Amino acid sequence: MQRCLGFVLFFFLPAVLFSQDLLFQEQFTDGLLHHEWRAGFHGNSMDVESMLNNPSGDGWVGKLGNHFSGGNVGATHSAEQFSNFYYEAQVFVPVNEGVYYGIEFRVDTADLSAGYQFVARFLPGGMVTPRLRFRLRPTDNPGMPSVIRDWDATEVPGGIPTESGWHKLAVKADGHRFWFYYDDQELPGSPIMDFSFLEGAIGAYIWDTSSPVLNLYIDDINVYSDIPVGISRVPAAAETPAITSNYPNPVSVETTVSFALPAADHVTLAVFDMCGREVARLADAEYPAGSHQAAWDASGLPEGSYLLRLMTQTAVSARIVTVLR
């Protein structure tokens, strides 16, 4: 067995990386559901489908249809219940069909499954313009959701997409306060207060006004006890040099590492194994202020956890990444 005692001090500084616990994970690896999923709204439950170029790179994603409910609604939720958590998932959001695609949380699993939703609508036209939306499906009438908060094109990082694609939707729930994240960027206005539900299941949701034959595709479902390191809580300019994200994570072959600098600086961005050995150097140069990216090809490395570390003249930023095939 490999011993890494000489690396104890190396990990002492970024020990906060392990401050959050993984409470739940569903990645549909090998075409299997690894947790029990139940149908909401008297409709479809979670299924698995093969898909190339999915976020995790394993060729499998979750699929939720809307054809069983009779109301163009698809909703599914986990058997497990959660109270305070950070829930993230990669959701494929089309721009040419459907009304809402997204995640549900603190779901009351009785009957039509009331609860909260964080959904995306990128379809142009109609009465509702493209936006992100925090909604409540109330206990007394889950079929008539109410809007708690909207984010329009001016508040969505990068603006409303013009092409269909994968996007990470995430929420941190702490008591009656909620923070929302889109592609690892915190949305303005957080935290948002609501007092309707304090615990419940996590899930996925799709709805269309006319078509009962649509599917939502979802991948990389993770529920943590707190926000993982690397999620940006400041969507504007960076205050300190930091790794802001890496996508996808877990990594099958390659991941793109994003980092931000508040001012021009010399950047060293490297990857280390759990014994402290440098296995890749992604950057070692001067960079101007702003957001930057570097690609890491992990195809020649074994599965396991690795540490991304960014060093500048003023700060150190670190992030755990998992190689999984």
Write out 300-316 in H/E/C secondary structure: CCCCEEEEEEEECCCCE
Task: Examine the pLDDT at 211 and tell me if it is beyond 90.
Answer: no
Task: Examine the pLDDT at 2 and tell me if it is beyond 70.
Answer: no
Question: Of all residues in the chain, what percent are helix, strand and coil, respectively (each to 5)?
Answer: 5, 50, 45
Per CATH, the number for 5-15+230-323 is 2.60.40.1930
d(CA 193, CA 178): 6
Mean pLDDT of the chain: 87
d(CA 66, CA 227): 31
> Per-residue pLDDT averaged across 67-76, rounded?
88
What is the CATH architecture assignment of 21-224?
Sandwich (2.60)
d(CA 116, CA 128): 19
Where do the CATH 2.60.120.560 domains begin and end in the chain? 21-224
pLDDT, one tens digit per residue, over 111-154 is: 778 999 999 999 987 777 899 999 999 999 888 899 999 999 88
Where do the CATH 2.60.40.1930 domains begin and end in the chain? 5-15+230-323
d(CA 116, CA 239): 32
d(CA 234, CA 262): 12
pLDDT, one tens digit per residue, over 264-292 is: 999 999 999 988 999 999 999 999 887 78
Write out 56-121 in H/E/C secondary structure: CCCCEEEEEECCCCCCCEEEEEECCCECCEEEEEEEEECCCCCCEEEEEEEEECCCCCEEEEEEEE
Output the pLDDT for position 231: 65
312 CB-side CA count, 13 A: 20
Task: Examine the pLDDT at 1 and tell me if it is beyond 70.
Answer: no
Output the pLDDT for position 234: 45
